[in-house]
Amino acid sequence: MVGETISTALAEVRAIYSELNRRTMQRHCRARTECCQFQLTGLTPHLTKGEALLAAKALRATGRKELPETDDGACPLLKRETGKCLIYADRPFGCRTHFCAVAGGPYARKEVIDLIRRLEDLDVRLKGDGPRKIISAVTAALAELH
């Protein structure tokens, strides 16, 4: 990886997520996982490369080498047996700022635009292709991590 090690990239993504958590906007994710049901919401998170690498690393930490195979249209990172996100602490930005009415609705883009820019800048430095749908983004990141 040219110009940026994976470890510094992951640290930058985690710093961005931490900054989001410190913002005063009130959001209360209750882990109801309704936003993880892509087949119902019609919406799928898109990940920049740094986010995808962090998600892939977190998935590896669960002992998995690949995304679980699924055919129900929900996020493959949603553990069916427990109804919980496999990588909740490292879940992507879109999963934190989404459209969930229960959690308080979506952030206005202007509220988080600086953080989006940081993720986009990191994507460029990592030679990413811009935000990609979660499955293809994490699949590519897993291949890159080896």
Interface residues toward ligand SF4, by CB under 6 A: 33, 35-36, 45, 75, 77-78, 85, 87, 91-92, 95
- The least CB distance from residue 51 to ligand SF4, in Å, is 10
126 or 137: whose CB is closer to ligand SF4? 137
- The least CB distance from residue 45 to ligand SF4, in Å, is 6
45 or 50: whose CB is closer to ligand SF4? 45
Torsion of CA 23, 85, 58, 29, to 10 degrees: 10
- The least CB distance from residue 59 to ligand SF4, in Å, is 9
Pick the closest to residue 120 from 25, 44, 12, 43 (CA basis). Answer: 12
d(CA 17, CA 89) in angstroms, rounded, equals: 10
- The least CB distance from residue 78 to ligand SF4, in Å, is 4
75 or 103: whose CB is closer to ligand SF4? 75
d(CA 125, CA 58) in angstroms, rounded, equals: 21
45 or 128: whose CB is closer to ligand SF4? 45
- The least CB distance from residue 3 to ligand SF4, in Å, is 27
Neighbours of 106 (CB within 10 A): 15
Q: Side chain identity at 122, as an amino acid letter?
A: L
61 or 124: whose CB is closer to ligand SF4? 61
From residue 85, alpha-carbon distances to 6, 24, 64, 89, 90 in Å are 23, 24, 14, 9, 10
